Amino acid sequence: MTAIGIISIDNYDDVIDKLDDKESSYLNTLITSVISDWASEHEVYYRRINAERHLFIAREADIEQMKTQKFDLLATFKNKARERELLLTMSMGIAYGQASLKEIGEVAQDNLDLALIRGGDQVVVKDADPMSRPQFFGGDSDATIKRTRVRSKAMSTALKRVLLENDKIFVMGHRFPDMDALGASFGIACFAKLIHKKCWVIINPEEVTPELQRGLREIEQYPELSSQLITSEEALELLDNKSLLVMVDYHRPSMSISQKVYDAFEKIVVIDHHRRGEEYPAKPLLNYIEASASSASELVAELLEYQLNSETRISKFVATMMLAGMYVDTKNFTFRSSARTFDIASFLKSQGADESKVQYLLSSDLDSYLEMSELISTCQNIAPGIVYAMGKENKIYGKVTTAKAADTLISMIGVKAAFVITRQDEEVIGISARSSGKVNVQKIMEALGGGGHFTNAATKILGESLEKVEEMLLNEVKQIEIE
């Protein structure tokens, strides 16, 4: 079968802008020679489309050979770029099958888009058959910042247009939402208010963590905000053909607070900062996934910024919740924080975000702290620099407690990756995974049915014992390569 592949040089524009003409010429020669040598080795037809895009045509057998070599072109190119002190990586989208060449080419482009959305430095391979599943290779570098102010402003305008086309806006985060999901949800509600649209935030009272409960109690002091909180049953009653669902801080339908609510909507918008996985809404009206962003609150605050003028402001408490969401996902701005992150934090401060209230919203109670300490005391080594801790089989731990235990372990000197395994209810075992940047914990969690970021990921496993999940985790960790 014929295979079509598209190669993209990640972050090419950002790097080339900083080089003079001579260095730019050397870089383009390097890119062309590395790809050309690789194409010759595999005897595939290759052509350069432009400076950052390349096309090749091969047979399915050639692709299978590339798979056995784990697409070593990515590592070769990254090493060559490092020798020249350039932060460049490469991504590929490859498709093959019995479909027409036009369809195969379109799937190859979709696969490349998926590779880029997941953070780049990886290959996505998929048969053109709609029922086939993609295969992922690479992904050994953290996401580079690809969004620009021009793109963010364009997305803000696009979101405004989509919201204006509908009468009722519903916002929903993931199950057992954290402060980032709550802050981003109310950020979208604030966006809707600016354009005079009705908006509700869906919450499940039975899936509210103690940490989030503190935030919900604060919301009760603001009648305008508390009136926007509704249950999934209330949302289904309000739903009509002019309604829109905005998914924030997640993109996998199975993680929705209510699957019934998700299934009831035909029009969907996705705003997320996690690397995109295989599960995804079929045809969202608007897709804004930026794996380089620190949090969903950062993305939403940036979209909001372009809708404000000298006469409009964000509610001070909404700004506080979004800042708290950024604190949660950046571990107090120590992880995944870029210059854009601090710009947005500054913007939220200018809108009245209260840091003292942020600290209150995120503070731990004594029982949670003692549970976290208990988990950390069970820490064991898997490999040099990789550790894991495990709760008791007959004890249920809060999701936030598990996550904070993992955060604490990764802050220790010499720890490159940390995993914490706990029982989250009678049928569910959860794993929180953290990395210092040397290990891609997202790939490990994806192999166990979860996902997340390069340095921050998690999964839930149903119907297994702690010991079985421990065995599954150890087997996956042993297969990774550590720098």
Give every CB contact of residue 142 below 8 A, 6+ residues apart in sequence: 119, 437, 453, 454, 455
List the one residue out of 90, 87, 85, 86 whose CA is nearest residue 34.
90
Region of 159 on the Ramachandran plot (φ > 0 left; ψ -120 to 50 alpha; else beta): alpha
Specify the higher pLDDT residue, 70 or 118: 70
In this predicted model, what pLDDT tens digit does every residue of 429-446 receive, in sequence order?
999 999 988 888 988 998
481: which 2 tokens? 């390569």
**Across 447-470, average pLDDT:** 89
Cα angle for residues 199, 203, 208 (degrees, 5° grid): 150
In this predicted model, what pLDDT tens digit does every residue of 171-228 receive, in sequence order?
999 988 999 999 999 999 999 999 999 999 999 998 888 778 889 999 999 999 999 9
Which pLDDT does position 316 carry in this prediction? 95
Which pLDDT does position 483 carry in this prediction? 47
Which pLDDT does position 144 carry in this prediction? 54
Quote the crossing angle between the two packed helices 296-305 and 149-164, to the nearest 10°. 80
Which pLDDT does position 113 carry in this prediction? 84
Percent of the chain surpassing pLDDT 90 = 56
**Across 125-131, average pLDDT:** 88
Q: Is the pLDDT of residue 147 over 70?
A: no
Q: Is the pLDDT of residue 114 over 90?
A: no
Is 424 in contact with 460 (CB distance < 8 Å)?
A: yes
Please report which confidence band the pLDDT of residue 84 belongs to, taking 50, 70 and 90 as the band edges. confident
Which pLDDT does position 269 carry in this prediction? 95
Q: E strand or H helix at 442, and its extent?
A: helix 441-447
Write down the H helix ranges in 252-354.
Answer: 259-264, 296-305, 316-330, 339-350
In this predicted model, what pLDDT tens digit does every residue of 254-278 receive, in sequence order?
999 999 999 999 999 999 988 777 7
**Backbone phi, then psi, for 140, in 5-degree steps?**
-95, 15
- d(CA 125, CA 109) in angstroms, rounded, equals 11
